[in-house]
Amino acid sequence: MAKKPRNAAFIEDPLWYKDAVIYQVHVKSFFDSNDDGIGDFPGLIAKLDYIAELGVNTIWLLPFYPSPRRDDGYDISEYRGVHSDYGTMADAKKFIAEAHNRGLRVITELVINHTSDQHPWFQRARHAKKGSKARDFYVWSDDPQKYDGTRIIFLDTEKSNWTWDPVAEQYFWHRFYSHQPDLNFDNPQVMKAVIEVMRYWLDMGIDGLRLDAIPYLIERDGTNNENLPETHQVLKQIRAEIDANYPDRMLLAEANQWPEDTQLYFGDRKGKDGDECHMAFHFPLMPRMYMAVAQEDRFPITDILRQTPEIPENCQWAIFLRNHDELTLEMVTDRERDYLWNYYASDRRARINLGIRRRLAPLLERDRRRVELLNSMLLSMPGTPTLYYGDEIGMGDNIYLGDRDGVRTPMQWSIDRNGGFSRANPASLVLPPIMDPLYGYQSVNVEAQDHDPHSLLNWTRRMLAVRRQQKAFGRGTL
């Protein structure tokens, strides 16, 4: 059995994720230790005490692997490495150890639906003989109309789920961007490679893996290519590896689906213990919390909770208000989407795909009462809450930046140069800091709020302290 380093700060409990409060961090945007304008692992280590003192107990890292970063790291070109901008593998190992020393567990991304088109697997596949195992690491076709019943997810940029590759002289399949070819899980070699990647990071001490975009792992003619039975067989193989060798680790499913479809990602063993993912995000609940606040009516929340099926005893919903992506409105009706767009994103620049690219505070127009109300609901709902870095101080966003970058700007630590994020020339920063009078780092920063007992930061700390005292929040039911 694979072991990870342990210390007195950890209480051995295979259900630790039920008591977790997760803090989502982007390495590149948190703290720059070497003044090159890009956040890094040494910078993250330097701020671990801040994270621990906030009152969370789990850190979720966005992808930090080698990547062209055309999709902010979700386009991985090497699974066993650290992007050189973020530090070294030694830095990553030290970060994991230092987090564990503070009683903080670490979750990272296992992006297995697709890779970058720069990944050696894809470069080998496109040059390999048609029909060979190397070619079949990815999904290819001579017909771009194949799987024509499949929706396009990134409607703003993609016109098809197929892209022609002139080297392979075939079309390759991609559910996301055209530079992110989908892996072919009908090829046993792909499953073997994925298990090896998973073992690599779990052996290093990672406590949990967020499985990105898992409803789309398998393709079949005549279906919408989401939530297929064969996808669940893939997940059962991954979970079997966890149960056999890493019983204290956790799998978190990112499945932006209706509750009855997401329920299947927990799996089932005679109705008690799930045999797929330990946790799954409850995507339909999130927009309905915003709708409830807008309408001053609890019905949107109670209605979706009534529609949420029972899940196995060892499983847990993960709940959230915001994250690194747009506030997705896929899991609402067309009428509800129009209502939420008009209420929270009347400026059309804030809209992207089927969602809203804004942070929590701007969504609520800096109304402290509504910010506290939504956070109070999040922290008292059934499930494990996730907080997005910067929301604990009411950080703003920049809708003038492309894609979802506007909600991924540097953490605002102080009124110093670049908000205390970096001493680098502002022109060399990975993303520009927020500068406007309401949300800029001169007005909103950790240092100022740390010394103000009535600040949003200290309110958040107090709320998290209350939650820690009562296990019923994580393990109870309504």
Separation of alpha carbons 446 and 247, rounded Å: 37
Least confident segment among 6-20, 123-137, 181-195, 319-333: 6-20
Q: How confident is the model at residue 343 (pLDDT cuts 50, 70, 90)?
A: very high
**pLDDT exceeds cutoff 60 at 447:** yes
Domains of the chain: 41-112+187-475 (3.20.20.80)
Query: pTM for this one?
Result: 0.96
Catalytic residue from among 254, 391, 392, 403:
254
Q: What average pLDDT is seen over the chain?
A: 96
Task: Let me know if 254 is a catalytic residue.
Answer: yes
How does 47-77 read in b/e, with b if 16+ C-beta sit within 10 Å? Answer: bbebbbebbbbbbbbbbbbbbebbbbbbbbb
Inter-CA distances, 271 with 196, 309, 386, 478, Å: 30, 13, 27, 20
Catalytic residue from among 32, 212, 219, 326:
212
How does 328-343 read in b/e, with b if 16+ C-beta sit within 10 Å? Answer: bbbbbeeeebebbbee
Percent of the chain with pLDDT over 90: 94
- Mean pLDDT across the stretch 323-348? 96
Return the bridge partners of 385, or none: 319
Task: Let me know if 212 is a catalytic residue.
Answer: yes
List, for residues 59-95, the tens digit of each pLDDT value. Answer: 999 999 999 999 999 999 999 999 999 999 999 999 9
Neighbours of 354 (CB within 10 A): 20
Helix (H, G, I), strand (E, B) or coil at 8: coil
Looking at residue 9, its pLDDT comes to 57
Inter-CA distances, 280 with 257, 258, 301, 320, 387, Å: 10, 12, 18, 11, 15
Q: How confident is the model at residue 156 (pLDDT cuts 50, 70, 90)?
A: confident
Query: Of the candidates 462, 112, 390, 53, which has an alpha carbon nearest to the alpha carbon of residue 277?
Result: 112
Looking at residue 119, its pLDDT comes to 99
Query: Of the candidates 412, 387, 417, which has an alpha carbon nearest to the alpha carbon of residue 397?
Result: 412
Q: How confident is the model at residue 2 (pLDDT cuts 50, 70, 90)?
A: very low
Separation of alpha carbons 148 and 143, rounded Å: 10
List, for residues 357-401, the tens digit of each pLDDT value. Answer: 999 999 999 999 999 999 999 999 999 999 999 999 999 999 999
